[in-house]
Chain A
Amino acid sequence: MEQFISSLVQLFEFTHLLYLFGGTLLGLTVGILPGLGGTSGLALVLPFVFNLQPSYALAMMIGILAPTTTSDTFPAVLMGIPGTAGSQATVMDGFPLSKAGEAARALSAAFFSSLLGGIFGAFILSISIYYAIPIIMAFGFGEQFLLIILALLMVGALTGDNFIKGITACFLGLIIGSIGTAPITGDPRFTFNTLYLIEGVPLVVVGMGLFAIPEIVGLLDSKGAIAKSLNIEKGWFQGIKDVLNNWFIVIRCSTIGCIVGALPGLGGTVVDWIAYSHLRQTTNDTSMFGKGDIRGVIAPESANNAKEGGALIPTLLFGIPGSGNKVLLLGGFVLIGIEPGLDMVTTNLDLTYLMIWSLAIANILGAGICILFANHISKLTLVRYYILAPVMIVLIFFATFNYNRDWIDFIGLLTFGMIGITFKAYGWSRPALLIGFFLSTKVELLSYQTYAVYGLTFIHRPVSIILIILCLSTILLLLRQKFGESKNSNSIKNKNHQIYFIFLLLVLPIMMSVVIYDLDYRANIYPITLCFVTIILLSIIFLLKYFESNNSLFMKNILLRYIGLNIFEESSGYNNQFVYFSGLIIYLFMNYIFGFPIASVMFINIFIVMHNKKDFKLSIMISIILLSILWLLSSLLTLQFPNGLIGEIIDMPWWLGGELN
């Protein structure tokens, strides 16, 4: 209790507040920009956190995560586009309200319920921390192993429309995560004798590639929907009153948000829909839903902020991320030397409380800023896409480079960007791939450790039995559950492309099995098992697609019909996105020739001027700002930028990529 208060005092120290505030602002920004969310926001700051004291870094990272689901309401209400996946349900009633001229009421109701939900989540988290020690002590190697299996099952099954594809994405992630030095024997595995892969593929490269790049390319493709007029003058108090009148909905939906958030995998993407449908089921008069019922805004918004508190429970106690952004949060923990688990509730309890307080205060700050500066912030939705996109691309390249200081990371980034775009277009789960990737080493180690300590007897332990039952019932439920609406596969074009993509995916497990076949059995049994299962799963998907596209009779079988549901995805604009993606490849080549700083300036200028010649003043201004930031960072971090071919010929200053001294 004493620590509970002292960490609050610590947080109110000026520097802490500064970092928290900075994080909150960044979180608000990435929440508003359509497509970006907490995952991209964290990926951007991750390279900088290791220069910070742990408590500052935590305040900042939590500051980023907490308000993204608050500010994402702006585009949801004003433009009818969810700012992050967590505000999809808000659009249902928020946008009609806005069209009816009640945008301010919808926004203030959303912000206020976000605030309450966020604080509720922090409250539940602090209670669960209090009871955590016996739970952690009861989770030995075997229980942790089963818990991860359960998490992977749920993530794989729930984050996409088709659960076989989701599980396959998990397995692909596990395979990619097993690249690098084999943890048991120390043999290099699938590294092709290069140094680059010896520690595996870097987390930031995978996270940025899978999440940030597809969203930016998607933004370019959609040409950035722009809100025409912003009328959010009146009705602010009405919204707050609405929330107070519906306080019971707030409590119920916050509880749902917490529980769903704590279950790995459900996390960000569906919690708003669950809260929304709960509201519909428990309300007598449903006539106004979808047409502008304020309750339809309050329910999802309180739930999606409460989920952050819930999602931190498995993250802090077991190191199991519930959603994509928690993977990066855990990556940040590693950088600042914090290990999730027992330490979080014993020696590092002060840091845990600091995070809880940060969560609560960031929610208040976020909602407060949104309400007070709504008119200014909503203008962010007006920024033109062709100015935003190149700057974000440069930012992503910089953050990636700074994480590992390796030129090759750019190639990795684009490779995973490619995978991300295709996954997004063809309905493969990106969170499943990322979480599988992150947990891979843990799965491998825990399976060895469990076997070494217990043999097979670990399944007799009581907690294990509960977890096994949970796993089995998850699978059963998923086989029966029809999630979302079935897509009419006759209307879906480019089915053949989707089938080709499966063949492409098959290359990875097959190649991996061949390359590592000769290693010691303790080094290759895990990846080869993964490859084997993945090949089977991919074959099943292939058969389903093949038969479905041939209109076979097999669809009469109920089980097959369930698992074949939504096996194809609409993928409009996939080809367009490829065109934009090729712009990134050109940028990469420019890096190779001119070095990072010069290439970035050229890229931004060319991009902006190509879209609108009149903006050249703006692009020059952005270039100047960019160069001075790069100059400052290179001397602060002793950072040598990739210098490119030109640097080999001409002697460049240090901060443009030249030699030191």
Chain B
Amino acid sequence: MYKLTIMFFSFILFSVFSSLNAGVNFTGKTVTIVVPFKEGGGTSRFTRFMQPFLTKYVPGKPVIKIMHIPGGGAIKGSNYFQKNQKPDGTYLFGCSTSVIVNVAVGNPLVEYNLSSYKPVILLPQNTHWFTRSDLADQPHDISKLQQMKLVLYALKTPASADLFHIWIFDKLGIKGAKPIPGLSSSGGYQAFLRGEIHISSHGAANYIKRVKPEIEKGKVVDLMTLGIVGSDGSVTRNPLAPNAPTFPEMYQKVNNKKLSGEDLESFYSIAAAWSQASKSLLLPEGTPDEIVNVWRNAATKMVNDPDFKSKAKKALGPFPLIIGEEAGPIIKKASVFSQNTKKQLNTVLKKHKFTFRLQ
């Protein structure tokens, strides 16, 4: 209580002070970005890539430190952030899909209040699905796969974002689809090349490096991509695989109706968690709008930096970063699944005899 009162007063003082001072300045301050993963992981690379640019564009050029707190399936570091957060703009959170999914599935160990965090910048990703060329003549045709008794694919664990694969294949009417548990996407891809599983998937970087050469050899064909969701809800094709239909296109072809209603709602949630907010930089809840805007402005300037532009494509992938107002609803959508969405996901989990359930 004592701490809270102090925090409250210092917060008031700070906001008065900063409004008097007209403009927020971080001169001489140290900014900490908490990353709930090990050094070397995707989120760590994402934050470390931005670190020098943010220092350059945040007023006062603060020293930015990245603090890695790995372990506990990313929950340990996330809970640490929640407990130690300061809403003064010197404390940020490097977030990723798995941090979001922990909240979305209702993991009881989660103590962080993700949906009220204030996003600075989001880095989208996109999933590519592909199959062997003898199982699909062209990207749009999955009729062979639908008829097969057994269509095997990799699934890390049902408690991760991989659970969305189950939903996707279920909605496409691939009845024989059966997940092979415990296979990461790279392990799954090796098994796919050996001919042991039928459908495999990868993110953009691995798709270009590993899958594209096999497609050019004619051994592998694109099946579809998740699709890129715009701020107006429209879904466009992935520029890396322009021939491959998006999931909504494929859904429409298979089911003879547009993706809509509860299915569309689930798709938006899944796409938000899995694709749009793949990696993100967030400010804690209760950060004053003024400070949030300072960070968002810095992010905007960073994205327009020619040096950033030239390096970002290789380091972060081809998808445009999402900054500012429109990022807020995405994090909410990604971390708070509606009852319908949860019900849909639990139904497919039950169908495949998994004991794991969304809470």
Whether chain B is bound by chain A comes out as: yes
A181-B157, A185-B354, A186-B158 as given contacts; A449 in contact with B181, CB under 8 Å: yes
The verdict on A195 contacting B190 (CB below 8 Å), with A50-B38, A445-B181 known, is: no
8 Å CB contact of A445 from B72, B158, B182, B186: B182
In chain B, residues 192-232, which have Cβ atoms closer than 8 Å to a Cβ of chain A?
Answer: 193-194, 196-197, 209-210
Nearest B residue to A193 by beta-carbon distance? B109
B159 within 8 A of A: yes
27 contacts between A and B (CB under 8 A): A140-B196, A141-B191, A141-B196, A181-B159, A183-B181, A184-B157, A185-B356, A187-B356, A195-B109, A199-B72, A335-B38, A335-B39, A335-B40, A343-B186, A406-B71, A445-B181, A448-B180, A452-B178, A452-B181, A453-B196, A453-B197, A638-B32, A638-B65, A640-B67, A660-B30, A660-B32, A661-B30
Chain B residues contacting A606 (CB-CB under 8 Å) are none
CB contacts (< 8 Å) of A337 on chain B: these are 40
Provide the residues of chain B in CB contact with A140, threshold 8 Å.
Answer: 191, 194, 196
Task: Name B190's contact: one of A185, A336, A341, A405 (CB within 8 Å).
Answer: A341
Is B39 within 8 A of A50, CB to CB?
A: yes
Alpha-carbon separation in the docked complex, A23 to B191 (Å) = 35
* 4 further contact pairs, Cβ within 8 A, besides A51-B40, A445-B182: A137-B194, A196-B71, A337-B40, A452-B178
- Quick one: CB contact mask for B32-45 with A, threshold 8 Å, 1 for yes? 10000011100000
B75 interface hit (Cβ, 8 Å): yes
Binary flags per residue of A102-116, CB closer than 8 Å to B gives 1, else 0: 000000000000000
Which chain A residues border B182 with CB–CB below 8 Å? 183-184, 441, 444-445, 448-449
Chain B's nearest CB lies how many Å from the CB of A363?
28
- Nearest CB in chain B: distance from A599 CB, A: 22
Are B68 and A638 touching (Cβ within 8 A)? Answer: yes
Interface of chain A, main secondary structure: loop
Please name all residues of chain A whose beta carbon is closer than 8 Å to the beta carbon of B294 when the two chains form the complex: none
Please tell me the number of chain A residues within 8 Å of chain B, measured between CB atoms.
42
A342 at the interface (CB under 8 A from B): yes
Q: Whole-angstrom distance between the alpha carbons of A335 and B75 in the complex?
A: 19
Q: Which residues of A contact B70 (CB under 8 A)?
A: 404-405
User: Beta-carbon contacts of A385-412 to B below 8 Å, as 1s and 0s?
Assistant: 0000000000000000000111000000
Residue B69 interfacial (CB < 8 Å): yes
Minimum distance in angstroms from B190 CB to a CB of chain A: 5
Interface string of A177-202 (1 = CB under 8 A from B): 00001011111000001011011000
Q: Which among A137, A140, A342, A638 has the greatest number of chain B C-beta atoms within 10 A? A: A638
Asked if B152 is an interface residue, CB under 8 A from chain A, the answer is: yes
How far apart sit A419 and B285, CA to CA, in the bound complex (Å)?
A: 46
- State the Cβ distance, B276 to closest chain A Cβ, in Å: 24
A661 and chain B: residue at smallest CB distance: B30
Q: Inside 8 A of B210's CB, which chain A residues have their CB? A: 347
Contact of B152 among A181, A186, A452 (CB under 8 A): A452
User: Is the C-beta of B254 less than 8 angstroms from some C-beta in chain A?
Assistant: no
CB distance from A106 to the nearest CB of B (A): 43
Q: How far is the CA of A296 from the CA of B31 in the complex (A)?
A: 62
Residues of chain B from 133 to 182 with CB closer than 8 A to chain A in the complex: 152, 157-160, 178, 180-182
User: Does B329 sit within 8 A of A, measured CB to CB?
Assistant: no
Known contacts: A187-B355, A198-B75. The answer to whether A50 contacts B65 by CB under 8 A is: no
Interface flags for B262-293 (1: CB within 8 Å of A; 0: not) read 00000000000000000000000000000000
Answer whether residue A233 sits at the interface, using C-beta atoms and an 8 A cutoff.
Answer: no
Q: Does A339 contact B (CB under 8 A)?
A: yes
- In the docked arrangement, what's the CA distance between A198 and B109, Å? 11
CB distance from A133 to the nearest CB of B (A): 10
- B180→A452 contact, CB < 8 A: yes
Is the CB–CB distance between A195 and B38 below 8 Å? no
| Closest CB in chain A relative to B163 CB, distance in Å | 9
Chain A contacts of B32 at CB under 8 A? 638, 660-661
In the docked arrangement, what's the CA distance between A137 and B219, Å? 15
Q: Does A520 contact B (CB under 8 A)?
A: yes
Name B79's closest neighbour in chain A (CB-CB): A195
Interface string of A449-468 (1 = CB under 8 A from B): 10011000000000000000
- Known: A186-B157, A335-B38. Is A137-B71 also a contact (CB below 8 A)? no
